[in-house]
Amino acid sequence: MAVTMVIGNDPKISASLLAPGYSIAAVIANEFTEATGDLYLQSLIELGLVLFLLTFILNGMARILIVATETKGMAQE
């Protein structure tokens, strides 16, 4: 919740990177208790799955980068 407040907790899309925003985690945290309908709850769970997949993709890319730099470092020695 602290990160949500620091980011700005503003659901509007802005052109500036420094403007207040709303992350996927903030949407889930703020609106999960208000999810009354099935579609509303399912869409929040879907956002959680999107965030989960994004995490896996970014971690995979980081692992590939680490392996590539390690093999490049071994070749130079």
Q: Give tens-digit pLDDT for 33-57.
A: 888 899 999 999 999 999 999 999 9
Which residues have C-beta within 8 Å of that of residue 74, sequence separation ≥ 6? Answer: none
- What pLDDT is stored for residue 51 in this prediction? 94
pTM for this model (two decimals)? 0.73
Distance CA 48, CA 28 (A): 7
> Do 19 and 8 touch, CB atoms closer than 8 A?
yes
pLDDT tops 70 at residue 4: yes
Tell me the per-residue pLDDT of 18-29, one tens digit each, with 9 for 90 and over: 888 888 888 888
- CA–CA distances in Å: residue 63 to residues 60, 66, 69: 5, 5, 10
- What pLDDT is stored for residue 61 in this prediction? 97
Distance CA 34, CA 44 (A): 11
Binned at pLDDT 50, 70 and 90, residue 71 comes out as confident
